[in-house]
Amino acid sequence: MTLPPSSVLLPSHSPPSLRVLVVDDEPLARARLVTLLGDCRSGSTSAVLQASRSVEAMEMIVHESVQSPFDLVLLDIHMPGMSGLNLAQHLSRLPSPPAVVFVTAHAEHALQAFELDAVDYLTKPVRLERLQAALQKVQRLKTNQQAPQLDLAPDTPLHSLLIQDRGRTERVPLAEVLYFKAELKYLTVRTAHKSHILDGALNDLEEQYPQFLRIHRNALVARHALRALDRQYSREPAEEGETWVVRLNGLNEVLAVSRRQLAAVRVVLAGGV
């Protein structure tokens, strides 16, 4: 069966269920998260526990680490005593730390959160679809950790793309790819010296290759190639107003950035994930 480029073929196996610890000093905030977790896709969580302070959470995590370790901590930032950021620092020193997703009303801490290797950063009030997306990230992380690790050399096929062009097959190393862009029914694969055409779906590439960052619904860029984020103003009636573009090392052209991806681009340019 041939899938259109925009389709995503989901794996047949179910994603792992997660043991979750909700840490927030506000009872209503904890209750809302617990309710949202219950509304998430069936099987996303196997257990949900709560803590009202960072110290209490740390004790629970250390106590549970041997028998039934937590997979995820949903963590508020501003709490009495030890802050959520400080707790995350302590957790990072554990032999097998749980994944951390910050849940806070204060968006200004996003960069610091990602510097602590947070999986995601949710702002209150949390929307169900954003929480579900965060859970899926943690599930993918857990699946990858459980999968057998292969010792791959940089030039193995898994680090390259096979491009079919007019009866010719060419191997393009992923390290040379600067961006993927969806164009009608195909993808453009751009290196510093050449453009290639690839059949496939942008969503699949985003899943397979985390070294590429989504900047727009139609584009992924290599994180290492990001050089600058520029603001532009258009006088065209159809595009009047402020727009944003990124510049990449090795290219003169610019790529559009959607407003919803601005924060992620800024984090990467600032040296985050």
CA–CA separation, 204 and 84 (whole Å): 33
For residues 92-107, average pLDDT: 86
Q: What is the pLDDT of residue 146?
A: 58
The arithmetic mean of pLDDT across residues 259-263, rounded, is 89
Per-residue confidence (pLDDT) for residue 41, from 0 to 100: 77
∠ CA 220-221-222 to the nearest 5 degrees?
Answer: 130
Q: How many CA atoms lie within 13 A of 129 on its CB side?
A: 0
Q: When comparing pLDDT for 112 and 20, which is higher? A: 20
Please tell me the class of the 158-269 domain.
mainly beta
| Residue 269 confidence (pLDDT) above 90 | no
Percentage above 90 pLDDT, the chain = 44
Residue 250 has pLDDT above 60, yes or no: yes
* CATH 3.40.50.2300 residue ranges for the chain: 18-146
Averaged confidence pLDDT in the chain:
82
Residue 114's nearest CA partner among 124, 93, 126, 100 is 100
Question: Can you give the pLDDT at residue 6?
Answer: 32
Q: Would you state the structure tokens that stand for residue 124, as one six-digit string?
A: 């209150």
Global confidence as pTM: 0.53
pLDDT tens digits, 11-48: 335 678 899 999 999 999 999 999 999 998 766 888 99
Select the more confidently predicted residue: 6 or 164.
164
CA atoms of 34 and 47, how far apart (whole Å): 10
Residue 3 pLDDT exceeds 50: no
Domain 18-146 sits in which CATH superfamily? Response regulator (3.40.50.2300)
Residue ranges of the chain that CATH labels 2.40.50.1020 = 158-269
Residue in the block written with tokens 């860029």: 221
